[in-house]
Amino acid sequence: MVEPDIRHIVVAGAGLMGAIIAQSFPQYDVHTTIYSNCEDDFERARQIVANCHIALIENGAMTREESEKIQNALVYTVDTECFRDAQLVIEAIPESIDIKKAFYEMICAIVPDDCIIASNTSAISINELAKYVTYPERFCGTHYLNPAHIIPLVEITCGEQTAQHTVDKLHQVFTDMGKKPVMLKKDVKGFLSNRLQFALLREATYLVESGVATPEDIDTVLKYGNGLRYTCSRPFKIVDFGGMDVFNSVAKYLYPDLSDEKVCNNLLQEMVDADKHGISNGKGFYSYTSESAIEEEKERDFKMIKILHS
């Protein structure tokens, strides 16, 4: 049972994130509507929901009956009247300030004054988006990570005007749903997960560009070294276990030597210029066929579920 005040939620955007975020609510008796401004989105959204349940069912994390119940409970609509009695709106529409601005202005004329509004934006400033929300104290960021049906983390970001009761309520909702919410007290670009991910990626690409190692070598270091430690422990615990003084003196010695590239990532730019876009066209740091990309994604999901349930 999720936070008792939230019984009706609208997830806006029937794309990858909207569909997956929405499907997590009906099992907690929350009336869940997926809103899009384009009816054609719904077939793909239904498919996304069905597909994300496959890995959960095959790993015993969900039964076939539960999956059917969730799929039947989801309401799909292009009718903006769905916002009229919403208690929570999670916005997962395209990553464009103009599109989000028009959307907030539209729904703010419909939703109740105390309806919480949250954005799943990957990177746009919460303070910037708050400008287009009436009663901005009810607005904040709720950043899910893909695959959002498996990854427990949700980053809740406060803007300058966000009220404490807004984020407290969302923290309770996500906790009740078995998620692992983390609260950012200030709006910061990239939130926590992307700042950490890109700090590591900047150094990894620098090492490849400098000819120190190949992408495969770096993947091996992370998979069998740091990544394994992070999964089974945590970065700050690793410092505790390794010794504060050791990490302090290594940091002093190493920081001046680490990449501090501020402008762009040359290696990623070269890859894009060479038409290497990743699994979408089968060419990236590795090569993929459409079948192997699906297989690898499935394998990744299975491993994550296994680790989380072990």
Ligand X SMILES: NC(=O)c1ccc[n+]([C@@H]2O[C@H](COP(=O)([O-])OP(=O)(O)OC[C@H]3O[C@@H](n4cnc5c(N)ncnc54)[C@H](O)[C@@H]3O)[C@@H](O)[C@H]2O)c1
Nearest to 90 by CA among 72, 111, 69, 71: 111
CB nearer ligand X, residue 154 or residue 207: 154
Min CB(78)–ligand X separation in Å? 8
Which of 24, 120, 142, 162 binds ligand X (CB under 6 A)? It is: 120
SS (HEC) of the chain: CCCCCCCEEEEECCCHHHHHHHCCCHHHCCEEEEECCCCCHHHHHHHHHHHHHHHHHHCCCCCHHHHHHHHHHCEEECCHHHHCCCCEEEECCCCCHHHHHHHHHHHHCCCCCCCEEEECCCCCCHHHHHCCCCCHHHEEEEEECCCCCCCCEEEEEECCCCCHHHHHHHHHHHHHCCCEEEEECCCCCCHHHHHHHHHHHHHHHHHHHCCCCCHHHHHHHHHHHHHHHHHHCCHHHHHHHHCHHHHHHHHHHHHHHCCCCCCCCHHHHHHHHCCCCECCCCECCCECCHHHHHHHHHHHHHHHHHHHCC
Min CB(79)–ligand X separation in Å? 12
Min CB(16)–ligand X separation in Å? 4
Size of the site for ligand X (CB under 6 A): 23
Binding of ligand X by 99 (CB under 6 A): yes
C-alpha to C-alpha distance for 120 and 100, rounded to whole angstroms: 11
CB nearer ligand X, residue 35 or residue 76: 35
Binding string, 8-47, against ligand X, x = CB under 6 A?
Answer: ----xxxxxxx----------------xxxx--x------
Q: Which stretch binds ligand X (CB under 6 A): 66-74, 91-99, 167-175, 241-249?
A: 91-99
Let me know: does 82 contact 74? Beta carbons within 8 Å: no
Binding of ligand X by 103 (CB under 6 A): yes
Min CB(91)–ligand X separation in Å? 8
Which of 47, 94, 248, 307 binds ligand X (CB under 6 A)? It is: 94
Min CB(181)–ligand X separation in Å? 15
Binding of ligand X by 105 (CB under 6 A): no
Binding string, 158-177, against ligand X, x = CB under 6 A?
Answer: --------------------
Tokens of 196: 């950490």
CB nearer ligand X, residue 116 or residue 207: 116
Could you check whether the bond before residue 215 is cis, i.e. omega within 30 degrees of 0? no
Q: Which stretch binds ligand X (CB under 6 A): 60-68, 88-96, 231-239, 252-260?
A: 88-96
Binding of ligand X by 146 (CB under 6 A): yes
Binding of ligand X by 93 (CB under 6 A): yes
CB nearer ligand X, residue 17 or residue 140: 17
CB nearer ligand X, residue 107 or residue 207: 107
**Which residues are at the interface with ligand X (CB under 6 A)?**
12-18, 35-38, 41, 92-95, 99, 103, 120-122, 144, 146
